[in-house]
Structure 1
């Protein structure tokens, strides 16, 4: 087993739980209610506080702040949580806050995510697996991000928005409504700009599967249908087409309306 390696100039509270193989660089601060899984590497000048749980084999770069209180005026020191999974890369100056009791009580990041510098996850956000957040992408509170989502640099996501699996935003997109699966969004008030077909190919979808998703896109955006009528047609297709089922799951969760 690899021993835990804590730099003598790091401050680690005696009640913090660090597994085998965790390394902590100089001038980093680890609070009493923090647990860190095996093999996670924490660089210098990192602050991890609050009720924060971090999984295995994460790489957390310098000047990151994890588990600070939510930026919510209603917060009254409740013991809400930040939960981070395994195999994530979290770059410089990233900030993740804990949840709130008026939300789900925790902020969550899944596994195998690539989080670039200056990204912010506000309270009660839920991020899936295999995502990429480019520099300065920021989520307001209560945002849900699916698997394999890509946020372009400086993308901003409004409170309570949902981005479906495989969706993608362009540079400086302002996401004010929900983004369906596979859809690319761009603009100050984000609008649909086609499908993330390259992402679908990379995930192993064949031409027939991609064609079925393209058909859904046409129903939603190209046939002049109302949202209700388009949704009804897509839900019918989802009963027999696995690729379309992800849209049914998305519609079931969507509350802010969909970008159109």
Structure 2
């Protein structure tokens, strides 16, 4: 399968293009760029910096990948953006390279959908099967796990973690960590419960979902301290991997605040 570069595209001779790459009209590909097999740049795409795209990605017009980090400490260091396979990156989406102080690499997984005008900030680490809907924004250093959905116009504050299978509702302002399987919404975002619709769509059994709901009610009850409820949850549900994933997420960084349910006044 041959490489196809439109005559109106500008591809630096030092860029590396694998078999089957398609570069459409008015695209610009910089010297530090590597494009994996069968990746397609539809038109008017800019890819710059030390940027690697894996195989079978499709990038739509006016997306900008590999631009320098939007950080005042950045002084032109050579940092990276690494993107996996089979991602669909829509119009005007942006993904920045990392910063020297943040590890130097922004990492995006595979099989994601990055809708129009979504933004991935510097040093983010994003898992597989992630969806950023229209104008969803990730600040620098965010950690977004597999199967997360970020709703339209939602903003995730820098250094925030969002656990696997979580759902962030549209317009949410997320300044605290979101537990795996959680569903948050609001400004500032609060925990509304588990992402039940996502769990059902992804094939979790009714028994598992009911067990997770019971564990959620125990963990976020009004009685006792949070540490006491966390210990009770471990004692009761230590054999349930999904519940223990939530517990491990909470314990992984005790310095980070969590999105919690709203309390009635």
TM-score norm. by structure 2 comes to 0.94
Quote how far apart the aligned CAs of 1:217 are: 1.4
- Inter-partner Cα distance in structure 1 for 2:160 and 2:236: 25
Does the residue aligned with 1:211 lie in a helix, a strand or coil?
helix
| Alignment match, 1:167 | 166
Q: What does 1:169-248 correspond to in 2, within 5 Å?
A: 169-237=168-236, 239-248=238-247
Evaluate the alpha carbon distance shift between residue 83 and residue 197 of structure 1 in structure 2; reply closer, same or farther with a 3 A threshold: same
Q: Which residue of 2 aligns with 1:258?
A: 258
What residue ranges of structure 2 are gaps of 5+ in the alignment?
Answer: 261-265
Unaligned runs of 5+ in 1: none
- Cα offset for 1:238? 5.5
CA distance in 2, matches of 1:126, 1:236: 32
Aligned residue runs from structure 1 range 1-260, under 5 A: 2-237=1-236, 239-254=238-253, 255-260=255-260
Assess, with a 3 A threshold, how the Cα gap between structure 1 residues 181 and 21 changes in structure 2: closer, same or farther.
Answer: same
Distance 1:104 1:252, change over 3 A: farther
Kept in 1: contact 2:138–2:155 (CA 8 A): yes
**1:249 counterpart SS class:** helix
Q: Distance in 2 between matches of 1:237 and 1:169?
A: 28
Q: CA RMSD in A?
A: 1.3
Secondary structure class of the residue paired with 1:102: helix
Aligned with 1:194: secondary structure? Answer: strand
Contact preservation (8 Å) 1:45, 1:63: yes
Structure 1 residues 180-228: Cα deviation after superposition (integer angstroms, max 9, x where no partner): 0111101010011121112112222111111121122112323434332
Cα deviation, residue 244, structure 1 = 1.5
Asked if the contact 1:219–1:225 (Cα under 8 Å) also holds between the matched residues in 2, the reply is no
- Is contact 1:4-1:19 (8 Å) kept? yes
Count of residues paired in the alignment:
259
Q: Is the 8 A contact 2:215 2:237 kept in 1?
A: no
What is the SS of the residue equivalent to 1:171?
Answer: coil
CA contact (8 A) 1:4 1:23 kept: yes
- The CA deviation at 1:237 is 4.6
- Aligned counterparts of 1:34 and 1:238: Cα–Cα separation in 2: 47
Q: Using the alignment, how far apart are the partners of 2:50 and 2:248 within structure 1?
A: 31
Moved more, 84-93 or 214-223: 214-223
What SS is found at the alignment partner of 2:25?
coil
